[in-house]
Amino acid sequence: MSECVYSSRVAHLVSCYCCMLHMHEHSSHLAWAVHQHSKFNLVCADLLGFFGAFGFAPMTFWMPSVIWLVVMKPSKKSWDFWLNVLNIVVFVIIMFLAAIGSIYSIIQDAKTYKFYQ
């Protein structure tokens, strides 16, 4: 719930700033819109974490090791081979844990999210 308190303060700050610039009279409509947008961004951050776990993590952490193993074909007795296999295993586990954590966060946010309030 702390994010709701923070986002309502941000909405009030934006509304006051626009009022200072004489863009519009101080209205609760702008504050409401900014508040809803900031709450929606919290849900989008969880979705970005979920898709990042399956999209960005493989390309950054373990996919280069797989490509290196395929291209270089090191001996299975070498340290290079086993360090790359260890890298792949560790980061695949982290990728699945990150996806599970993002799903958990989405579920927790969905329980407390209320539309148009």
Specify the pLDDT at position 13: 60
Reading the block at residue 94, the tokens are: 């982290």
Mean pLDDT per segment of 10 residues, for the chain of length 117 residues?
Answer: 46 58 53 54 72 84 93 95 96 92 85 69
17 close to 91: Cβ distance less than 8 angstroms: no
95 close to 62: Cβ distance less than 8 angstroms: yes
What is the model's pTM?
0.60
Specify the pLDDT at position 4: 42
Quick one: the chain helix, strand, coil %, rounded to 5?
85, 0, 15
